[in-house]
Amino acid sequence: MSDSTTSPTPPTARRRRVPRRLLALGAALATAATVLVAAPWATAASTLTNPGFDSNGASQTPTGWSESGTVAASKSEYGGRNGGYHLAHWASAAYTVETTQTLTGLTAGTYTMTAWTRSSGGQGASYISLRNCGSSEVMVYIPTSTSSWTQISGSINVTSAGNCTVVIRSRANANNWINVDDVTFTRSGSTGGGSSTISIRGVDLSALKKNEDKGALYYDANGNRGDAITILRNGGANYARLKVWVNPADGYNNKARVLTMASRIKAAGMKLLVDFHYSDSWADPGHQTKPAAWSGYSFAQLRDAVYNHTYDVLNALRNQGTTADMVQVGNELNAGMLLPDGTSQNFYNLGQLLKSGINAVKAVNTGTRVMLHLAEGGNNSLFRWWFDGVVGQGVQFDVIGASYYPYWHGSLSGLQANLNDMATRYNKDVVVVETAYGFTTAQKDAHENIFNSSLASAGGFPASAQGQVDELKAVYNVVRNVPNNRGLGVFYWEPAWTAVAGNGWDPTNPNSGNAWENQAMFDYNSRALPVVAVLGTA
């Protein structure tokens, strides 16, 4: 444990030009190789020809493989992971190339691909995909900027047609490279079913109660009116997240409201994640404001207040039979909490506050898992800096949470690299605890929306119902491919926060509008969008 009371300056965070929490809502991967434990059901040997690119030595076209695009950029060369040779993609000018192998005569079932990779970084896209297998293409992004061999994996369902193509793809700038070696493609022995699953298919329902009280209605995809929780659960959601504010101006997201919503969530057969903001309003990278009642407290009093508030809410949940399954001690803690006392520039103080909250969680129920949560899920240098700091103070936790909005937080490959590194470096499970995407750029109310045409362009998916589906599927796939089954799941942020008068972003202003309605899972007629059905595809 470090006795230092200060820390280095954190990596620069991307600032958001949006209101409050919606205002402040890649990087280098670990140099250590990620070791993936083989799944116990992976009984078949590789069905690929020349999986290690060794059979014909240094060659323009490795035996068994085909090339398309800038074919000169793809070749086998000396220097494999265990000696011998490997596949290399490189060119002195910008290039796009695919190295592929199609397997035929496969028995229907679930198959898993693994490969060892390393990369210079700088690619527009570099991934290994499983394509034309009879189900949706699975893409596994190659971690960026790591000179050490790192193992990646992905799983897919091969249909009765019995074909599947392994695709190694690079779209890269001049002089950027990837290496790939020791590719495997093995069957689970199952007949049918989807790709490997993740356990948490979550939704944040913090705004739902106020929405309902202000008149919001909800309909399923067939136009039948129903309860939003039931509609989302029937779509496949199995976990709900609720934020807690200390003394909010509008009386929502406080202890009493959380208890009410927790009863409904548990009655629907879903698990519960409680998200403590330790504020009267939004806590995020740009805002970590003390509750008004705590504003004059000494540091010792703040530490006690964190414990007492956390214990009070969680004990009340336990007493009504709705014990929290997981708890966030703080929300998007990039800058720290309860500023300025708990700043991330002083990991000693921050560690004391985090320990106080964590101790309260475990005092109520030792089985409740504790999550620590940062924004900027694609920013590996930030995550390493911050988690090294709190781990150095002896902070004990169970899960690492990341916010990932593709229009703010970088590429999917950056997210994959960061989650892989977090799971391996700290031996922790990881969760994308916030993501969302817009189904349109049009507005429902007069308040300007966060997600607009500019962000849609940056996000890489169309601003459409299908784009929203594709974004969630892509994030699911990233989490699914975290090594050693450490990717627990994904939470979609505020799918039921539709535009109704009186439930805007500012709890102190009943006339404020909603900047989020075009990222909900319900359209402007309050009908469930296709993305609801994606919840169950994890």
DSSP string over 220-256 = -TTS-B--HHHHHHHHT--EEEEEE-SS-TTS-SSHH
**Two tokens at 110?**
């679930």
Tokens 């070749």 belong to residue: 75
Cβ(372)–Cβ(330) below 8 Å: yes
List C-alpha distances in Å: 431 to 284, 308, 400. 17, 27, 6
Question: With 0-12 CB in 10 A as exposed, 13-18 as middle and 19+ as buried, what is 159?
Answer: middle
Residue 265 makes CB contacts below 8 A (sequence gap 6+) with: 205, 229, 240, 242, 272, 322
How far apart CA 259 and CA 425 sit, in angstroms, is 36
- CA proximity to 155, closest of 139, 179, 132: 139
Residue 228: phi and psi, rounded to 5, are -60, -40
For residues 30 and 55, give the distance between their C-alpha atoms in angstroms, rounded to a whole number.
31
> Residue 32 has which token pair?
């250590």
Least Cα distance to 288 among 240, 250, 326, 345 occurs for: 345
Among 434, 471, 494, 517, which one carries the catalytic annotation?
A: 434
Is 434 a known active-site residue?
A: yes
Alpha-carbon distance of 116 to 46, in angstroms, equals 14
**The dihedral sign for the CA sequence 474, 477, 481, 482:** positive
Expressed in angstroms, the distance from the first to the final Cα of the chain is 39
Contact 201, 239 (CB under 8 A): yes
Task: Please give the C-alpha separations between residue 37 and each of 19, 135, 311, 417, 482, in angstroms, as whole numbers.
Answer: 44, 25, 38, 17, 11
SS3 per-residue string spanning 455-518: HHHHHCCCCCHHHHHHHHHHHHHHHHCCHHHCEEEEEECCCCCCCCCCCCCCCCCCCCCCCCHH
Take residue 61 and report the two structure tokens written for it: 């076209």
Question: Secondary structure of 11-54 in the HEC alphabet?
Answer: CCCCCCCCCCHHHHCCCCCCCCCCCCCCCCCCCCCCCCCCCCCC
Angle, in degrees to the nearest 10, between helices 255-267 and 299-319: 40
What span, in angstroms and rounded, lies between the C-alpha atoms of 192 and 325? 32
Catalytic, out of 67, 98, 332, 494: 332
From residue 227, give the alpha-carbon distance in Å to each of 234, 514, 525: 11, 21, 15
CB atoms within 10 A of CB 193: 12
How far is residue 531 from each of residues 93, 188, 212, measured CA to CA in Å? 39, 28, 21
Catalytic site residue 77?
no
Catalytic residues: 332, 434
